[in-house]
Structures are given as structure tokens and as C-alpha cells.
Amino acid sequence: MKGFQFTKFTPSEDGNTPFDKLMDLFMELLTYTNGDVSEALQWMTQLDQQYQLTSQEYGLGDFIDDLKDRGYITEDQSSGTIKITPKTEQSIRKRSLEEIFGKLKKTKSGDHRTFRPGQGDEINPETRPYQFGDTLEQIDFTNSIRNAQINHGIESFQMREDDLSIRETDFKSQTSTVLMIDISHSMILYGEDRITPAKKVAMALSELITTKYPKDTLDIVVFGNDAWPVAIKDLPYLEVGPYHTNTVAGLELAMDLLRRRRNPNKQIFMITDGKPTCLKQGKRYYKNSFGLDRKITNRCINLAAQCKKLKIPITTFMIASDPYLQRFVQEFTETNNGKAFFASLDRLGAFIFRDFENGKRKTVY
């Protein structure tokens, strides 16, 4: 009888294939290049020349071929342009989710559970006797027929009201969310790249909501001089424009979108560097980039108070470390009784969490 022959196994440095190693870098660069494949590959070529990322067995040409074969990029034969596919867009969002919130598994139900029974869509294992007002869909016919057989016998089978058994369903709450993203020029001012971590947080939140809570609704709003909605698939392509920061326009659009949603639970996530600098008055823009203008900030504070009255909490992700900007976000969040995460640019995964509703403060990693 032949036995097993064992040979020495020499794993790679981190267990990943050459494609996986280059793919991690490619995904990271796509976030910085706003989804520009050509620019990302040019950066990879320069990095390869400096750090020898590839080998003679597997070069960048092989990596590009694998990207095409696996459906991550597509090339227009007529123009020669290369673009990422929806598969890559989703991979970027998943990567951001894992980087910031850790690995979360997708659930079949994906909802916010409560401890109250009611008219929901998850069957409760317990039953109760019929009560006036119960609907036909709530009747557990198997248990009801069994009760009728026990109470009246098989020979004279009949079903009465006392035989009916009701199986309730658990009530599950749903939430409508608006995600606001600041794309003003201040997000790249003074050489600080704030838009890249902002996009990472936005993609992580959108992936978290769509995978963990697929029955929720999610609207995405970007705001500069004005505010307008964008699709989830467009998040990797967001770029900063020559805009001021009209936080008021973003909040007004967010509130308008939430008014159209029928869910009783509503919330706003806002990713910004915290400095509103613009208002639109009729057809004229009122602008002031020199510090915090009370005419502008008061409008923001008033909208925060309105959201509080409408029971719309605002969670702010502050992508900046300026003390005077943090003081404004603190006042804004305290007025709304919302929550705030203060993030530094070099520690994207760590946030200083402030919950003004419960008076809590902690560091979240």
C-alpha cells in the first residue's frame, strides 16, 4: 500500500497571489484618482519601477490582462479608453467598509430588530387564540385544523372561532437615510487631501447600509455651491470642485428627500470638513471663506433644530482637525441631539465619537 508523500510548502509572504497584492494597491489608487484607470496604472508603473512590485513571472501587463479577464475593467476598442466596471465599483465600496468598519456579513433579512410583536414580515414561533380584528393572513391553519379535530372529533369535523390559532409576526423597523458629502474646494485646501477619506467613509457607509440593512432606503447628496443627488455607483468618481460649502443647501435637500419617505425612522449622515461658507439667497450666492460667518452658521444651527423637531438625527463625520471647526460641529450636533465622529486624516479607522443624546464620548477604532 502506497503512503502519502509530503513535500515542503513555501507560502508567499502574506498568503496572497501576485494578482491579489497588486489588486489591493490598484483599489487604493482608484480612490485617489477618482476612478481613473489610466492614471492609477501610471502610478502603479512608477511604483513598480521604484519598489519592484512585480517579477519576471508576473508583470503589470499580466495584471492588466487579469483585470480584463475577471471583469474588473473594460476597454473601448474604438477610443482605447479603459474604465472600471460595476464589479470594481462594488469592490471599492466593500474594501472601504472592511477598512473602516471591519468585515460584516450580509444577512438575509437585514433589518433593525425591535422587541415588539406586530404586523411585520418575520414569523413569530408562538401562537395565540383568535381575537376580533385579526386578519385572514394571520391564521395558522395547521394549528387551527388540529384544534378543531381535538375539540370536535374527526367524524363531526367543524371549525369555530374558538379553534382558530393566530401566528403573529415580529415588527421590524426600517430606516431612511440621506448621506451628505462635502465636495467643496476646502476638502483639498492647503495640501490636505480630505476628499479621499471622505469618499472612503461614504462608500463604507453605503456598503454597510445596503448589505447589513437592505430593506432600508439610502439617498446620497453632494453639496458645494449647491446640492444635488448622486447614485451609489458614482461614489468612486466624486471629485472636489471650485465650490464653496453650502451646508444649508445640502441639509434642505436631505430634509426634502426624507419627507418623501414613508418610513417613520429617518436620519442624516453628513461627511464634511465642518466649515460652511456659502448661502444661496434667491439667485445670488452669499459667500465668506474667511472663518465662520454667523449669518451662515446660524442657518445651519436652525436647520439642525428643525431636524430635531422632526425627529431626524444628524450624524456628522468630521474629516478635519481644526479646533474652531470642531467647536462649530459640536454646537451643531448638540443642537440636533445627534452624534459626531471627529476623524484625523492619518487615522481614518479611528474616530472620536460624541453622542449628545446620551452624553457619551469615546474613541472608536
Say if CB 296 and CB 276 are below 8 A apart: yes
The angle, 0 to 180 degrees and rounded to 10, between the axes of the packed helices 294-309 and 323-336 is: 30
Closest CA to 256 of 228, 285, 295, 291: 228
pLDDT per position as a tens digit, 310-353: 999 999 988 877 888 889 999 999 999 998 888 755 554 455 44
Q: Which pLDDT score, from 0 to 100, does residue 170 have?
A: 56
User: What are the percentages of helix, strand and coil residues in the chain, rounded to 5?
Assistant: 40, 25, 35
Grid coordinates representing 96 are 472601504
Closest CA to 221 of 260, 177, 179, 270: 179
Pairing of strands 112-118, 82-84: unpaired
Closest CA to 175 of 121, 222, 212, 124: 212
The residue count for the chain = 365
* Cα 260 to chain centroid, rounded: 20
Q: Which pLDDT score, from 0 to 100, does residue 311 have?
A: 92
User: Over the range 203-225, which residues count as b (16 or more CB within 10 Å of their CB) and which as e?
Assistant: bbbbbbbbbbbeebbbbbbbbbb
Say if CB 99 and CB 31 are below 8 A apart: no
d(CA 99, CA 310): 33
* Cα 362 to chain centroid, rounded: 22
Dihedral sign from CA coordinates of 206, 210, 213, 216: positive
H helix intervals, the chain: 18-32, 37-51, 60-69, 86-101, 141-152, 195-212, 247-259, 294-309, 323-336
- The neighbouring-strand residues paired with 287 are 278
d(CA 343, CA 318): 6
Other CB atoms within a 10 A radius of the CB of residue 301 amount to 17
Q: Which pLDDT score, from 0 to 100, does residue 131 have?
A: 79
Q: What is the pTM of this model?
A: 0.70
Residue ranges of the chain whose pLDDT lies below 50: 103-104, 107-109, 115-121, 348-349, 352-357, 359, 362-365
Q: Which pLDDT score, from 0 to 100, does residue 141 have?
A: 83
User: Over the range 256-281, which residues count as b (16 or more CB within 10 Å of their CB) and which as e?
Assistant: ebbeebeeeebbbbbbbbbbbbbbbe
Closest CA to 105 of 212, 186, 252: 212
Say if CB 321 and CB 344 are below 8 A apart: yes
Say if CB 264 and CB 255 are below 8 A apart: no
Contacts of 186 (CB under 8 A, 6+ apart): 194, 245, 273, 275, 277, 289
Say if CB 228 and CB 222 are below 8 A apart: yes
d(CA 155, CA 123): 32
Q: Count Cβ atoms within 10 A of the Cβ of residue 312 and give its class: 0-12 exposed, 13-18 middle, 19 or more buried.
A: buried
Say if CB 270 and CB 317 are below 8 A apart: yes
d(CA 304, CA 271): 15
Q: Which pLDDT score, from 0 to 100, does residue 118 have?
A: 46
Say if CB 128 and CB 168 are below 8 A apart: yes
